[in-house]
Amino acid sequence: MDTEYAYTKKRMHFGKRCNFSDFDKTEIEIKSNPTLMSNYVRMDPVTHATQCSKVYAVHEVNTTTATYKDNKMFHYEGGWPKDINMKDLEQTVRYRRKIEKDELYIHTMLQLLPSMEHCILQNNACNIYEEYFADVEVTPLIQRAFSRTVNVYRDPLTLKRQITHLSWSPDQGNRFAASYCNVDFKKTSSNNYTSYIWEVENPNNPYMALKPFCPILTLEYNPKDSNTLISGLMTGQVACWDIRRGSEAVDISLVEFSHRDPCDKTLWINSKTGTEFFSASKDGQIKWWDTRKMQVPTETLIIDLQKPENQNVDKATGISALQFEPSIGTRFMCGLENGIVISGNRKGKTPAEKIATRFKAQYGPVISLERNPTFVKNFLTVGDWTSRIWSEDCRESCIAWTPGHRDFLTGGAWSATRYSVYYLIKIDGTLDVWDFIIQQDSPVLSIKLLDRETRREKVIEAKNREQRLKMKTLKMHGESDFTDVSSKPDEREDSKESSDGLMNALIMQCEQEYENIINAELTRQVEINTVELNNNVMQNNVIMN
């Protein structure tokens, strides 16, 4: 049997492939010779640039000149029918209510809501707490509240009088009317009952003086006409003013048809003519008037809680606060001296129906009563030592209230711009600012308005004391002219030096108090900045760890 043995070897081990051809070609191996390096100059490094893209020549191009054109655009609120005056609040509210009662209203809203909801969800998709700029100091979400005095409007009369009411003009609030009246009129013998209209930008001199025959308790601008005002007088009468016709009242109601007590509450109501208003007083009567016929009221309502049908003035409960919301129409509210708030309807057929809704709001007289400008069903009451927020949908109790204050509250009002903010004033001259979104147990800002006036009174008292001392010294010198003439110049110099020293000491004391207040504020700011810096450092350390 034949024996075979096969040898296998990979092609890669055979070496270079042999190509046979008829060309004269010889391949030899030349090894490197290090000695030949001395004949060459070594260049290290050697750079060679390559460009794969196309090469273009350099050239310049001048663009077309842009032409600008100024155009004006006037924006008007649209969507209203031609027979609807969009500037009349009553007509627009009625039209909205009519549209909301339409059968297609809900169907139309269901078609419009998905697209709006999609945009809202897109906005909510971003992380509002993400720190895009880590090196920037973080601003607190709730800024520290502060206030500053812009202008001070002083009564031109030297007699000390109270400001019983303020009313802002409807033309963007450029002016305001202030009624001055000394409520305790038995202690004064002055016959000057002037009230003033002030311009906001001119605190030095009043814009106009209103001269009534008796003190004015309240002044109210017409919301549709900045030249017309109404007022309640100490005699119980109401008066109408037109600043275009002078400083005297153009019309006054008759005494026999007016209030029995001083009229301290007047408000305009929403009417087509813009001439109707109503008034209230401690006699328990609400009277509706028309400025075109001021002698007699158009309607009278007596607040008799026991027997409303009898309309007995002798048993009426005094009205201490009055409120009217133009968007609600015939509805009105009044606060009584026994702490009850009445939500009334002028269209009620009987007096009992007009004052059917009642709230037991305060333990004492309701001093202030005002609806929230946005949520009109919620209203604020101020009385005794507390303020309370109520809702017409919840009559059993209030929905929010403030803790009891040490000092008696004298008034309150909602903010016109921030709907969670309202203001309270106290008898000690303090203005408290409350914001229920930030905190509910204490005000966010408390301003002592009487500090400035206290310092001013001290300066005036020092000047009067100095004047009395000078007069006394001059009198003594006059009596001693015939006894010792040579001592008169020295005594004058001594009295002048003593008075000047007293005045200088008082000025130095005021300056020192002012400097102490500034230093305390600066120290507090440094402490706040230090605490915020430490918090930021701690947060950065936590993030790094």
- For residue 99, the model assigns a pLDDT of 86
**Structural tokens at position 305:** 């809680």
From residue 36, give the alpha-carbon distance in Å to each of 30, 40, 44, 213, 497: 13, 8, 18, 128, 114
Query: Rounded to 5 degrees, what are φ and ψ at 205?
Result: -130, 140
- Residue 230's CB is within 10 A of a number of other CB atoms, namely 26
Predicted TM-score (pTM) of this structure: 0.59
Rounded to 10 degrees, what is the CA torsion of 503, 508, 513, 515? Answer: 150
- For residue 270, the model assigns a pLDDT of 86
User: Model confidence over 22-33: pLDDT tens digits?
Assistant: 777 677 788 888
The reply to whether omega before 45 is within 30° of 0 (cis) is yes
Task: Please classify residue 392 by burial: count the beta carbons closer than 10 Å to its beta carbon, then call 0-12 exposed, 13-18 middle and 19+ buried.
Answer: middle
- pLDDT exceeds cutoff 70 at 182: yes
Instruction: List beta partners, residue 359.
Output: 341
Per the listing, tokens 């002698």 go with 295
Domains of the chain listed by start with CATH number: 152-295 (2.130.10.10)
Per the listing, tokens 């007047």 go with 266
Mean of pLDDT values over 404-414: 88
- pLDDT exceeds cutoff 60 at 426: yes
Long-range (24+ apart) CB contacts under 8 A made by 320-323 are: 320/282, 320/365, 320/366, 320/367, 321/265, 321/366, 321/367, 321/368, 321/369, 321/381, 322/265, 322/266, 322/267, 322/278, 322/279, 322/280, 322/286, 322/369, 323/267, 323/369, 323/370, 323/371, 323/379
Mean of pLDDT values over 180-206: 81
User: Model confidence over 75-122: pLDDT tens digits?
Assistant: 566 678 888 888 788 888 888 888 888 888 888 888 888 888 888 777
Count the helix, strand and coil residues of the chain and give each as a percent rounded to the nearest 5. Answer: 25, 25, 50
- For residue 188, the model assigns a pLDDT of 57
